[in-house]
């Protein structure tokens, strides 16, 4: 609903909703894939188009602006995280935390098992901390450096990181999206997680197997051992590498996350810890370290690719991502607040007859919501509201609704360039969404597994079956 409304707008009709949404998709598709226009410019055109459609329905300018502002204000916590992640990466670079993990990681990990082990470690960290962003911003940056040194293409490495990080974001009981989906579907948290096990575990294991097979193409004979030795030597000359000291910031980050300390506080303490280590232990100048929190500078190791990696981070490095996210959120505010999405989906929902079609439509609707609104949170809430009655009519437990919504929303948000997650992953890993998308096997395979199991009647918790499964908060 608009925050400020000075007239009574007409309700959106299906044709109007379809025209508006199709126009948004057309602008992005043609502009991005045919003419390679920057996404910010395309988002501006989409905002104008959606605004004109909302105005046609009778929304005033003040009302439309209110819709955009409301959407942005609801996502303020994510915006704070954007800023803090930039400082976390920069301070971890300055303190030698990332360098230490890279140095010892190159010793411990073999190229053939790197992708599989990396996916498992990312999954464990995201499961323990409940955040895919924190996992990508820490372990993800490390694995990008290690994978590049091993000669593994960065899009494959980035796809592996996104797969592992998304697993915890979907399954962790302390993940915001996991709790939001359960709450929005009005089911218990652990019943929701139990329902997701049926589709998530097989999808994860299949993806892990694929990465094991891919990893066999990268044995020690396929990359230069001397290059890795050169990288380790350069790290030794640039930093003081002591796991007992330089790993303190990431230990603090993981510990506070597991203890459910708010993300903003956790990251702030981690940044301060890393900053102190950079000044006291690494001997960096205080002014240099503090300036790096805004804009980190490339390293000075003499290895170009390593220097670029060590120069990552800083608040300014997130500006492209942050501005895109704000524009996408504003667009989502219009599409949702003016009723275009609800009207579009309502026309489809009324025609659904089978359980398989219902689950497939729910997943597609989650993807549609991410595309339109640039954020999984609103998509989760909206789709739980829209599909709740239909799931009850089919005799399905609410946990199947929450599971399907997560598989359409949480799992796909990192696969769309202009969502907050997609833009963040690109900015953090230095690999575009379209480049790593083919290798994010877990993220899109989960949808196919879910629909396939629904067609076979596997993992469908009906009301009677669910009542027998005594899982509560």
**73-100: per-residue pLDDT in tens?**
887 877 888 788 889 989 999 999 989 9
Structure tokens at 463: 């009301």
Quick check: 407 and 432 in contact, CB under 8 A? no
pLDDT band (50, 70, 90) for residue 57: very high
Is there a single domain that holds both residue 286 and residue 349? no
Q: Is the pLDDT of residue 469 over 50?
A: no
Q: Is the pLDDT of residue 258 over 90?
A: no
**To which residue do tokens 């009207």 refer?**
343
Quick check: 75 and 373 in contact, CB under 8 A? no
Instruction: Decide which of 318, 338, 371 is a domain's last residue.
Output: 318
Is there a single domain that holds both residue 208 and residue 274? yes
pLDDT of 1 reads 41
Q: How far lies 468's CA from each of 284, 461, 465, in Å?
A: 60, 10, 5
Instruction: Compute, in degrees rounded to 10, the torsion defined by CA atoms 434, 372, 313, 310.
Output: -10
Residue 111, in any domain of the structure:
yes
More confident of the two residues 28 and 359: 359
Residue 432, in any domain of the structure:
no
pLDDT of 8 reads 67
DSSP line for 148-159: HHTT--HHHHHH
Q: What angle separates helix 398-408 from helix 176-185, to the nearest 10 degrees?
A: 140
Residue 434, in any domain of the structure:
no
Quick check: 337 and 74 in contact, CB under 8 A? no
Quick check: 132 and 166 in contact, CB under 8 A? yes
Report d(CA 316, CA 221) in Å as an integer: 40
Report d(CA 122, CA 114) in Å as an integer: 12
Which residues, in sequence order, are CB contacts of 183 under 8 Å at separation 6+? Answer: none
Structure tokens at 325: 């996210």
Is there a single domain that holds both residue 129 and residue 219? yes
Is there a single domain that holds both residue 313 and residue 331? no
Identify the CA nearest to 193 among candidates 381, 376, 364, 402.
Answer: 402
Is there a single domain that holds both residue 149 and residue 30? no
pTM of the model: 0.81
Quick check: 131 and 139 in contact, CB under 8 A? no
Of the listed ranges 113-117, 131-135, 411-415, 417-421, the one predicted with least confidence: 131-135
Of the listed ranges 289-298, 366-375, 416-425, the one predicted with least confidence: 366-375
Q: Which range is most confident: 153-167, 181-195, 414-428, 457-471? A: 153-167
Which residues, in sequence order, are CB contacts of 9 under 8 Å at separation 6+? Answer: 54, 57, 58, 59, 63, 338
pLDDT band (50, 70, 90) for residue 220: low
Residue 48, in any domain of the structure:
yes
Is there a single domain that holds both residue 123 and residue 225? yes
Q: Backbone phi, then psi, for 96, in 5-degree steps? A: 90, 5
Q: Is the pLDDT of residue 320 over 90?
A: no
Is there a single domain that holds both residue 156 and residue 215? yes
Quick check: 84 and 78 in contact, CB under 8 A? no
Instruction: Decide which of 261, 286, 318 is a domain's last residue.
Output: 318
Is there a single domain that holds both residue 52 and residue 85? no
Is there a single domain that holds both residue 340 and residue 387? yes
Is there a single domain that holds both residue 361 and residue 464? yes
Is there a single domain that holds both residue 307 and residue 334? no
pLDDT band (50, 70, 90) for residue 466: very low
Collapsed DSSP state (helix, strand, coil) of residue 396: strand
Number of domains in the chain: 2
Q: Which range is most confident: 112-126, 183-197, 267-281, 315-329? A: 267-281
Instruction: Decide which of 256, 290, 318 is a domain's last residue.
Output: 318
In which domain, by residue range, is 175 found?
A: 76-318
pLDDT, the chain, mean = 88
Q: Is the pLDDT of residue 223 over 70?
A: no
Q: Is the pLDDT of residue 139 over 90?
A: no
Collapsed DSSP state (helix, strand, coil) of residue 412: coil
Residue 399, in any domain of the structure:
yes
Quick check: 155 and 438 in contact, CB under 8 A? yes
pLDDT of 468 reads 41
What is the mean predicted confidence (pLDDT) over 379-392? 88
Identify the CA nearest to 1 among candidates 59, 75, 78.
Answer: 59
What is the mean predicted confidence (pLDDT) over 386-400? 92
What is the mean predicted confidence (pLDDT) over 181-201? 92
CA angle 162–156–127, rounded 5-degree value: 25
Q: Which range is most confident: 131-135, 286-290, 343-347, 465-469? A: 286-290
Structure tokens at 405: 């919504």
Is there a single domain that holds both residue 266 and residue 394? no
């Amino acid at each position: 609903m608009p925050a400020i409304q000075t007239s009574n707008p007409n309700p959106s009709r299906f044709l109007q909703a379809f025209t508006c949404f199709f126009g948004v998709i057309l602008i992005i598709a043609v502009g991005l894939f045919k003419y390679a226009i920057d996404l910010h410019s395309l988002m501006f055109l989409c905002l104008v188009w959606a605004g004109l459609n909302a105005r046609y329905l009778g929304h005033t300018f003040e009302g439309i602006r209110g819709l955009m502002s409301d959407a942005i204000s609801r996502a303020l916590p994510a915006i704070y995280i954007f800023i803090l992640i930039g400082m976390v990466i920069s301070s971890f670079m300055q303190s030698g935390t990332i360098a230490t993990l890279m140095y010892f990681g190159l010793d411990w990990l073999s190229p053939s098992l790197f992708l599989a082990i990396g996916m498992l470690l990312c999954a464990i960290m995201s499961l323990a901390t409940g955040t895919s962003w924190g996992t990508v911003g820490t372990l993800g940056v490390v694995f990008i450096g290690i994978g590049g040194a091993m000669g593994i293409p960065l899009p494959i490495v980035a796809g592996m990181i996104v797969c592992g990080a998304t697993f915890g974001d979907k399954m962790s009981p302390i993940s915001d999206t996991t709790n939001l989906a359960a709450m929005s579907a009005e089911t218990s948290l652990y019943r929701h997680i139990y329902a997701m096990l049926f589709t998530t575990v097989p999808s994860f294991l299949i993806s892990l197997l694929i990465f094991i097979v891919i990893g066999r193409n990268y044995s020690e004979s396929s990359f230069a051992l001397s290059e890795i030795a050169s990288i380790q030597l350069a790290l030794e000359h640039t930093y003081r590498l002591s796991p007992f000291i330089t790993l303190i910031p990431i230990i603090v980050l993981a510990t506070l996350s597991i203890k459910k300390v708010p993300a903003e506080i956790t990251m702030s303490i981690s940044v301060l810890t890393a900053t102190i280590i950079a000044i006291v232990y690494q001997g960096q100048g205080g002014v240099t370290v503090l300036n790096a929190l805004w804009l980190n500078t490339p390293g000075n190791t003499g290895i170009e690719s390593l220097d670029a990696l060590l120069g990552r981070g800083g608040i300014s490095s997130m500006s492209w991502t942050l501005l895109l996210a704000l524009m996408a959120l504003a667009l989502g505010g219009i599409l949702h607040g003016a009723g275009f999405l609800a009207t579009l989906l309502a026309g489809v929902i009324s025609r659904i007859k089978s359980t398989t079609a219902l689950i497939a439509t729910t997943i597609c609707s989650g993807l549609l919501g991410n595309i339109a609104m640039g954020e999984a949170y609103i998509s989760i809430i909206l789709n739980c509201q829209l599909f709740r009655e239909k799931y009850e009519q089919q005799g399905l437990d609410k946990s199947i609704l929450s599971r399907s919504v997560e598989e359409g929303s949480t799992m796909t948000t990192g696969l769309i360039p202009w969502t907050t997650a997609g833009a963040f992953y690109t900015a953090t890993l230095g690999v575009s969404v379209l480049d790593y998308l083919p290798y994010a096997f877990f993220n899109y395979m989960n949808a196919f597994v879910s629909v396939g199991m629904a067609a076979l009647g596997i993992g469908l918790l009906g009301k009677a079956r669910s009542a027998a499964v005594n899982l509560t908060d």
